[in-house]
A = this chain, B = another copy of it.
Amino acid sequence: MKQSLENVRKTCPLIHCITNYVTVNDVANALLAIGGSPIMADDIRETSDITSICSALVINIGTLNERTIPAMFNAGQTAKKLGHTVVLDPVGAGASPLRTETALELLEKIRPDVIRGNISEIKTLAHGSGFTSGVDAAEGDTVTEQNLDASVRFVKDFAKSCGAVVAVTGKIDLVSDGGKCYVITNGAAQMSRITGTGCQLSALTAAFAAANSQDKCTAVAAAVCSMGYAGELGVLRMSENDGNCALRGYIIDGLYNMTGDKLQRGAKYEIR
């Protein structure tokens, strides 16, 4: 974990983001906070050029549209050809056929190296269809202590079948490459009251995986722990009048001040 973060800070990877306009500013600042560098570009006439000068690409379908979907495929194909890390965040897969089908097609044609989503989105990808209530996980899907064994098996199987590191985030986070599975309990309930912590995390996984190509699974787990631990530290900073907007800032600032040693001490996980 410690080394994974330090490699991000050392290499300052440039990350091409095709991401939704809701949380894009926080995504950029979170990448800068952790030591990476963001560039946003979604016109198909430049997505291939831009991704070529980057180390990794994040495709986040949060506000996908007819103009940006072809740009996602274009950037994805170039990035894969060049051996760059490609991350898919299937925001809202299951909430509309357009999202489900686009995410499935990206999965099949781009074969991303990392997939980061909530459990409902990942189940939608795994089963080829699904239903989610908006952009949050459906309650019946939640990973709990009770269904942990089955959930770990599900994530391992899905990771194996799609040849990617899969990160399912929620109260308990699972990160697997098909072999081992990190079970991570960092994080805080209040984070679900902030828009964009998932989007930020997806971008972070790109920076971590790009800077640690020798072990992307551990790198992605380190990104998940960083975000979750920053959330815990942020909640500790909250005073009486603070709310979700203050917490959002504290988390990004927590990433900014995260060190390898801090992360090592704060990361809460076991490997199954």
Contacts and interface: CB of A to CB of B under 8 A. Distances in A.
B46 A99 contact: yes
B63 A41 contact: yes
A83 interface: no
Given A134-B37, A136-B37, A49 B194 contact: no
A115 interface: no
A252 B257 contact: no
Interface stretch (A16-24, A117-125, A168-176, A204-212): A16-24
Interface stretch (A146-154, A159-167, A236-244): A236-244
Given A39-B92, A53-B133, A22 B24 contact: yes
Interface string A22-38: 11111011001100011
B253 A249 contact: no
A66 B43 contact: yes
A84 to B, nearest CB: 14
Interface string A227-257: 0000001000100011111101110111111
Contact of A29 (B28, B133, B194): B194
Interface residues of A, number: 62
A87 interface: no
21 contacts: A22-B24, A22-B40, A28-B196, A29-B248, A37-B134, A37-B136, A38-B195, A42-B63, A43-B63, A45-B66, A50-B92, A50-B95, A54-B134, A65-B67, A233-B241, A243-B255, A244-B252, A244-B253, A245-B250, A245-B253, A245-B256
Given A46-B97, A244-B253, 13 more contacts: A22-B24, A22-B28, A25-B196, A39-B134, A40-B63, A43-B98, A50-B96, A65-B67, A67-B67, A243-B253, A244-B252, A244-B256, A249-B249
Q: Which 5 A-B pairs have the closest CB atoms?
A: A243-B256, A243-B253, A245-B252, A28-B195, A49-B96
